[in-house]
Copies of this chain bind each other. A is one copy, B any other.
Amino acid sequence: MKRDLLLSYRRKSDLVNPLIFFLMVATLFPLGVSPDPTFLADVAPGVVWVAALLATLLSMDSMFRSDFEDGTLEQILLSPQPLYLVVLAKVLAHWMLTGLPLTLLAPVLGVMLFLPAEGMGGLVLSLLLGTPTLSLIGAIGAALTVGLRKGGVLISLLVLPLYIPVLIFGSAAVQGAVTGLPLGGYLAILGAMLSLGLVMAPLAIGAALRISVSG
């Protein structure tokens, strides 16, 4: 089941786009703010995390929209497969196409923004735990707005408040890693958010989808 969804999604080859967006957002900062290396090293954890968050957010809107418009979403809701699993598979596929490559690319960004080498581990770990949570939360927003004719920006409105805790702990973890503090606590919180999300979010997404389609 999961493999099917993944397979079908692979074809979209959207893979590389969020990545390049991620890279670009990160380059916007030194350009717009200040190119001074010590300054950049200071803000790097936050900037990378904000960029990751925005990249996820941007890719979120299209998650269910095309399914809604061409009627495949109806078919998903009418299938005898448990909706929980189908939704989870869809979110997982989304994460593998955005969050995961983003995490893998993050060290490159770190170098570009002069992030000290000690921070790299924390950066990758925190993103690894944080980005799936972002995908899960984002999918709730996407499911809620899919039936509306506007979407697009509305979704960020719904989702961003929920993203903020992830952002705070994620960037705190990286900053901790840079200054040599123990990361365990932050990562544990990120992990807890992820597991909570894994259990609850698919339920919310499923319910939201049913409501949106029934409207």
Contacts and interface: CB of A to CB of B under 8 A. Distances in A.
Which of A12, A14, A153, A171 has the largest number of chain B CB atoms within 10 A?
A153
Q: How many copies does the complex hold?
A: 2
A78 B69 CA distance: 25
Interface string A70-82: 0000000000000
Given A17-B152, A17-B153, A157-B21, A34 B42 contact: yes
Given A33-B46, A59-B152, A28 B160 contact: yes
B14 A153 contact: yes
Contact of A32 (B14, B17, B167): B167
A28 B164 contact: yes
A45 B66 CA distance: 37
B32 A54 contact: no
B153 A33 contact: no
A183 interface: no
Q: Is the interface of A mostly helix, strand, loop or mixed?
A: helix
A18 B153 contact: yes
Contacts of A18: 153
A69 B171 CA distance: 40
A150 B31 contact: no
Contacts of A7: none
Interface string A96-134: 000000000000000000000000000000000000000
| A interface, size bucket | 35 or more
A148 to B, nearest CB: 11
Contacts of A31: 164, 167-168, 171
A61 B152 contact: yes
A20 B50 contact: no
Nearest to A17: B153
Interface string A55-70: 1001101100010010
Contact of A29 (B50, B156, B163): B50
Given A17-B152, A21-B153, A24-B161, 4 more contacts: A20-B156, A21-B160, A32-B167, A33-B47
